[in-house]
Structure 1
């Protein structure tokens, strides 16, 4: 599918974009979500720690994370339908209100020593569902808050927000949990309250006017519309075949490196440093994304990212028992935010407003669902082969994706504009 409007042009990164820092509405949303994401990162670290203290069972602590991932995946496609069917601002307000109540209740329960595993699991499901709806509605709303030339830069800013909060949130969450077990959860409730206040301060519309003719079908038919749009675009269709193994490999590599370091007797501090190095690579990449995407077209970015990642992951595999293994992996993730910014800028530009939520949900679900299997695959490999061989498997997976990208007619279709 070829972009036919002026909106699609800037998303390819070929023209300079206006100054996004002067956009009041987007900056309100972005700042509020920085605080919200920071609170989420704190709570995500504190939740398994709380369950471990309550039950003494690592398995039950792991159940919390698995429940959240599964709930998020189940809710992803319905979230796209809801974000396209209802008012996006109201949806985000409702999601924030639910999360404020949920984490405030848990925080008070922890203070009163009345928290239970069942309460935590219910909170995790509610939070995952609210996160899926909120993030989808937020992404769908961005096109209505920024100028066409700001789309890719806006996505890049969101990428930087994500990596930045990943760096600071867990450390802050661990500190607060040590001071008082309820503090990370009450702090997260406060972050959602600030998010809610910022949302209410945004006056600009977050979607185009709706009527019954544009709204289209509901239920399964509505979800199918988003799937058809993605599969009907040769570039997006080809990209899913590449994004899924890339995301799976990054998740599996990071997990395998951490386990390998632990098995080799590396100190906990250095094991944590490996994750920090990885996050720093993503943050630096997100900060460089606006400049890089104006110099490289999206198809070129995908090819460079795929081949560079395959080579760098192979380098990480050779350093599997050293914290230095995280350095090539951080270098590999450096181009990821640029590719994401250009991709979702392109997607937002070519997708009709009434399909934004569903198309985004389809892409995210297809691109990330395989990543849920990565820790299991990494664990099985580490039980049967050496650390170096296990990590090489993920490098090979990315190598196959790179070959697919190189010969894909769908990727070439964007380069030629067909």
Structure 2
């Protein structure tokens, strides 16, 4: 795994990574297609906006409440097998959505129950899947591998809902059927993946082992810095939650303009991730990360002050691109600073921060916009992001001076789960 030959530095010469990438891509497309069908079908059945909120609730609750047990499981058992079992459960649930929809026997309760099953399985799948990647490629190209994964995720977020919407013309059952087919492809690829991982000696699930990831993060400045930077930047930079207000009241455009605004960050992130997948980040990763988060804040300010649609689109495009750079660096730093036997639990804690900050960030933006207006709320978010960058550069000087992604290992008390 430490080879530096041309073959070793080419992502797609690593067969295990290619297989992993296609499996993850297939399941991501399937999930995005399923999500758009679920929302449309439930609204068709009930015509109640509250029920659309219930879809988010049944996905959010297990992802937060069971994240720590899921991380513990990822560190105690074979990760490939965990992912395979979880994807098999998701495939069965989506296949049942297809069967019951085609037979006309699916109601709102049934949809929500099956979505809950999918969310439950994804909660346990996430930390195991995240922890697998460092074992599939050499360390020096891990950031490029993460960027390639991110590119696939962004492509799924852009094209998946559109494809699901087109297929919905033939009915919800058709969308679920295609989604189940994609999950089956992912399941087969993942079950045949060559993944060399020897789980450590199993430990009972105690409070010490469950919270070992939290303890590890607290005592590792680099990991604490990047995870908390992500948390507060997302909390403050929630401009996308206010896009309908900007589209209608400030930019004076219609639904097509709102669609362009919503797509702009994803397109920026996709193009940047494709570039990062081909170009390694080897030097000055700390300054680049902080500059990217600052760029995210500056783009938010431009968007807040813009009254021109295309300037706003450009600002959101830049916002997505800057966010992708910092996300790839943060993700690689967390993976490389974490020992293999802790990656599941650290990924689980990171997942809690991501899910919570996304939800709370949208809530904070809406609450602040109701109080001071959308423009002022977005300005506060952009300025707050810049303040966070300045504070984190001061509080985490080693991260500010960080040159490479790999640092000398440091002993960490309780790394094996003993606090």
1:260 corresponds to 2:246: yes
Deviations 1:153-200 (A, max 9, x none): 211111111111111011001111122121221211111100111012
Q: Which moved more, 1:39-48 or 1:235-244?
A: 235-244
Deviations 1:32-72 (A, max 9, x none): 21111011111111211111000010111122123212322
2:159 is matched with 168
1:72 is matched with 63
| Correspondence 1:4-19 to 2 at 5 A | 18-19=9-10
1:229 is matched with 216
| Correspondence 1:9-88 to 2 at 5 A | 18-88=9-79
| Distance (whole Å) between structure 1 residues aligned to residue 354 and residue 362 of structure 2 | 16
* Structure 2 runs not aligned, ≥5 long: 409-419
| Distance (whole Å) between structure 2 residues aligned to residue 203 and residue 310 of structure 1 | 41
| Distance (whole Å) between structure 1 residues aligned to residue 279 and residue 232 of structure 2 | 23
Q: Which moved more, 1:159-168 or 1:139-148?
A: 139-148
1:375 is matched with 362
Give how far 1:291 is off. 5.4
Q: Which moved more, 1:230-239 or 1:402-411?
A: 402-411
Give how far 1:104 is off. 1.0
Q: TM-score, normalised by structure 2?
A: 0.89
| Correspondence 1:148-297 to 2 at 5 A | 148-205=139-196, 207=197, 209-212=198-201, 215-250=202-237, 252-263=238-249, 266-290=253-277, 293-294=280-281, 296-297=283-284
Structure 1 pair 296–147 and aligned structure 2 pair: CA distance change class (3 A):
closer
SS in 2 for 1:202: coil
Structure 1 pair 175–107 and aligned structure 2 pair: CA distance change class (3 A):
same
Give how far 1:333 is off. 2.2
SS in 2 for 1:182: helix
2:120 is matched with 129
Structure 1 pair 148–186 and aligned structure 2 pair: CA distance change class (3 A):
same
Give how far 1:321 is off. 7.5
Structure 1 pair 279–222 and aligned structure 2 pair: CA distance change class (3 A):
same
1:89 corresponds to 2:80: yes
SS in 1 for 2:62: helix
SS in 1 for 2:66: helix
Contact 2:23 2:189 in 1 (8 A): yes
Q: Which moved more, 1:155-164 or 1:120-129?
A: 120-129
| Distance (whole Å) between structure 1 residues aligned to residue 373 and residue 395 of structure 2 | 33
SS in 1 for 2:28: helix
SS in 1 for 2:43: helix
1:406 is matched with 393
Give how far 1:323 is off. 5.9
| Correspondence 1:107-146 to 2 at 5 A | 107-146=98-137
Structure 1 pair 204–386 and aligned structure 2 pair: CA distance change class (3 A):
closer
* Structure 1 runs not aligned, ≥5 long: 1-5
Give how far 1:295 is off. 5.4
Count of equivalent residues = 403
1:3 is matched with none
| Correspondence 1:295-306 to 2 at 5 A | 296-306=283-293
